[in-house]
Structure 1
Amino acid sequence: MIARREALIRTFAASSVRRSLVVALLIGTALNAINQGPEIISGHWPVWWKLILTYFVPFAVASYGSYAAFRGSD
């Protein structure tokens, strides 16, 4: 098992962050298309807080998944 500090360092290493960003980009774009696509297509601006959260949540989930994998089971 890895200590929490080491797991956090590995979670926020460039390769892990890059992987989480790719997940956030792919999943966030799909979710925005589903949730706000009709409004955007009709010419309305997206709701900014929803736009930000729709990308942040998959990033946070992917990052936590990395942390949990590095940390191992307690």
Structure 2
Amino acid sequence: MLRPPALKAALRIAAVVGTVLNAVNNGPPWWAGEPVSAWKVVMNYVVPLCVASYSAARQEQRRLAASMTPAPGLHEDRSL
């Protein structure tokens, strides 16, 4: 999850998704000159970062598990 390639990708995803979420969720108040909750602005970036990081970690876990599983038909038959 904290490996540089995965973290870099998660940060890019969070930047794009967070910006879109902020435009949708906070755009009207910003454009009207009304105050916007800093907590909501930050969370619009943190949540996609967490989701992307978790997804990368799960994918890596699955990849490692698959690489440790022997291919079908390659195990020894000890039933004889």
Q: What is the TM-score of this pair, normalised by structure 2?
A: 0.74
Structure possessing the higher relative contact order (Cα contacts under 8 Å, 6 or more residues apart)? 1
Question: In structure 2, what is the equivalent of residue 54 of structure 1?
Answer: 44
Q: What is the count of residue pairs matched by the alignment?
A: 64
Q: Counting helix residues as a fraction of each chain, which structure ranks higher?
A: 1
Q: Following the alignment from structure 1 to structure 2, what is the Cα–Cα distance between the partners of residues 45 and 66?
A: 35
Measure how far apart 1:18 and its partner are: 0.9
Runs of 4+ more than 6 Å apart: none
Matching residue's letter, 1:17: L
Q: Following the alignment from structure 1 to structure 2, what is the Cα–Cα distance between the partners of residues 44 and 21?
A: 28
Question: In structure 2, what is the equivalent of residue 5 of structure 1?
Answer: none
Larger radius of gyration: 2
* Structure 2: segments with no counterpart, 5+ residues: 66-80
Measure how far apart 1:45 and its partner are: 3.0
Aligned-CA RMSD value: 1.5
Identical counterparts, % of pairs: 31
Q: What is the TM-score of this pair, normalised by structure 1?
A: 0.79
Asked if residue 63 in structure 1 is aligned to residue 63 in structure 2, the reply is: no
